[in-house]
Structure 1
Amino acid sequence: MKISPVEDLFSVINDTAVILQEELSLTFLEALAETGENIFQEAILQEEISELSRKRLKKSYESLTLARFSVEEIRKSFQLAILKGMKESVQPNHQMTPDAVGMLVGYLVNKFVTKPSYLLLDPAIGTGNLLTTVINQQEGKAIESIGIEIDDLLIKLAYINANLQQHPIQLYNQDSLEPLFIELADAVVSDLPVGYYPNDVRANDFQLKSEKGHSYAHHLFIEQSIKYTKEGGYLFFLIPNGLFESEEAPKLHEFLKEHVYIQAILQLPLTMFRHENAAKSVLILQKKGEQAKAPKQVLLATLPSLSNGHQVEKTLQKIDQWITENK
């Protein structure tokens, strides 16, 4: 049976990560970052490994020609390896945006952001999978991007991910809700981290802070993202379905009314999520500015199961028609 390029590359990444994991007593994800760096640098950078392991690694790496693979094949094989590692680790912040959702967001970015070159920001980049999925779909456009992530291991994996796919992404290892020393972005994509933000002192600087107790991190991320977006720029957020139903929702609604035009809310199929309370939607905003205007009506849609090609096609046609009429 012929194996696919993705499986072929995954097996090299996986096998070499396992060797480094055992040899250096690392977690699989840590070993994955190490082997990714070796592949990118075309060298074995770990000096403290045994001669036998060095020979095994060398043999695996020499069987690999990265130039044979497309950026999407590289992204998918690295993503498979990350998913394997995430099953082993139980950290709640180590979650990855499903591929079908990344593809949909990439499609939407392509439709809304029509500039031939622009700056794209992901303020919660994680391993870089959502951002690189989106970039890979913007054919014929010159895109620079910025990713911010507080988790040391995740940003290391994002760095490897960007290098292997040869994407120029500026990465910042910091709390995304602290002041950012970056250029304003033309567009933002983010799978919003949902939960409470522990730093009440910092939260005080935000309009969307909670009057009592910790503030919602996802509300603060929305405010921060809007702040670092150019006038007229677009923001694409993956949001919990109950975003506008919490006790803090009226304040969020007022804030959005003041700063942005809501373009669309697209509810993702419930079949994509294990539990209904984990279900998400795509929220599309445009920051107010001279060139920006409110749509005649907000695009509201519930997406069919993404395995139903015919229904998905019909929904995408509806989205295309709405964009034609409203832009």
Structure 2
Amino acid sequence: MPESLSRAVRWDTVVGALLIVLLLLSFGCVDGFGNALNLSFLLGNTLPIALIALPMTLLVVSGEIDLSVASTAGLSGAVMGRLWNEGMAIETIVPLCLLLGVCCGLVNGLLVTRLGLPSLAVTIGTLAAYRGIAQIVLGSDAVTDFPTQYLDFAAGRIGDTFLPQAFLPFLVLLAVAVVALHATPFGRSLFAIGASEEAARFAGIRVRRQKLVLFVLTGLMASLTGVFWALHYASARYDNATGLELSVVAAVLLGGIDFDGGRGTLGGAIAGVFLLGALQNVMSLLNVSAQSQIVVTGVLLVVSVLGPRVARQISVARAGRRAADPTPTP
């Protein structure tokens, strides 16, 4: 097993263990955590983060990032509400919203890959631009009268279980993303790009095209998340999903995806997503304020960046000491 992958696996194990410990403590010590309604809320509220985390993981592995995902989701929801008010059928609106997400991702990707601009700066700019366009499209209105069957799908549960109906399509998307990242030449090329873009280019990998595809996929999933958000919460507003990008990035990095690219696993990212979702749910049950929850998310983001780096530095230091020590280890 390559050294970088073994590090990611070890970090994944830590995150997975923390998730299990948190769930066990929550079931035993937090009133109301284990009932079906709360577990359904937990999964339903975590799904928007998980949906965007799928392409975001691939993007960060390649050494890029997209901070405009929440604004893209908000723009998608705003357009959905405006078109519904105009009398358009929901079956037509959803594909148009997805196409809009593709366009948003394409704009980000072209600015990064064709003009050579840093993705962090580009997507901070489009974060503001897309949110502003969403406000222009819908104003301060809230659209709530969507078809009942779509609202039931986005917010309903499978029979008497706690599993949301939308969880099954997410599992399909998760399986596709895992195979794409860890079992295809495309996924291997992303790790190569993240590790060394110049070396990947010399190896014949079309770096710019690969990154452009990732930005488009991220925009597509962000717009799908915007549609799901509007239906799940039965409200399309221009400010839907505000701040979601912080949770997505925190969860992905917490799962062991290296911010510099080239390291990590999708399993670790999803473990980070549900660890963050469970922690937010527990804090809500304990009546922790929304502002304090944001602080905790920010702290986790810092820890998720520092943790793997510190672990690698310790590992390198130990390896250096072992190499310098001539005394054989008994």
How would you bin the TM-score normalised by the shorter chain?
under 0.3
With CA pairs under 8 Å and 6+ residues apart, which has the higher RCO, 1 or 2?
Answer: 2
Q: Compute the TM-score of the two structures, normalised by the length of structure 2.
A: 0.24
Q: Compute the TM-score of the two structures, normalised by the length of structure 1.
A: 0.25
Structure ranking higher in strand proportion: 1
Structure ranking higher in helix proportion: 2
